[in-house]
Amino acid sequence: MEFANPFAVLLMGVLAAFILYNIRRGNLGRQLFIREVPGVAAIDEVVGRAVELGRPVLFSTGLGGIDIVTLQAITVIGHVTKLAARFRTRVIVPTVDPMAIPLIEEVQREAHAAVGAEEAYDPADVRFLSGEQ
């Protein structure tokens, strides 16, 4: 490590020890605390409210192209679609990036198949909105 200074080597060793300690603790069966994020818990409430009202869920991936945030949003779309597909509720996803359309369609198709609702899948729920309007 010719570019590492002594502080960086020490910090790397402390972090490695901390990670190995927690891996060992998990393997021994001790429960690790994972904080619940309120926004993730609210997803169930939002889908439930849409089901109660008989309305579709609208999920926007934002105005950017395919970047890390869009890929994370597509992962969340899969979770939301699974929740909604159990109750045969549509999830409409508008996107401005034509490259994201096949990704979103596939995630939605897989989510419907995972809960046994293949017939409820509609590719028209993924809509292209031009960014030039």
pLDDT tens profile 28-84: 888 878 888 898 889 999 999 999 999 999 999 888 778 898 899 999 999 999 999
* pLDDT for residue 130 is more than 90: no
Which pLDDT value is given to residue 64? 78
Same domain, 69 and 124: yes
Range of the domain at 24: 1-34
Query: Are 30 and 57 found together in one domain?
Result: no
Q: Indicate if 95 and 123 belong to the same structural domain.
A: yes
Question: What is the pLDDT at residue 1?
Answer: 53
Residue where the block lists tokens 């590719």: 123
- 3-state class (DSSP) for residue 64: coil
At position 61, the amino acid (one-letter code) is T
Both tokens assigned to 79:
């979770």
- Write down the pLDDT at residue 12: 94
pTM higher than 0.85, yes or no? no
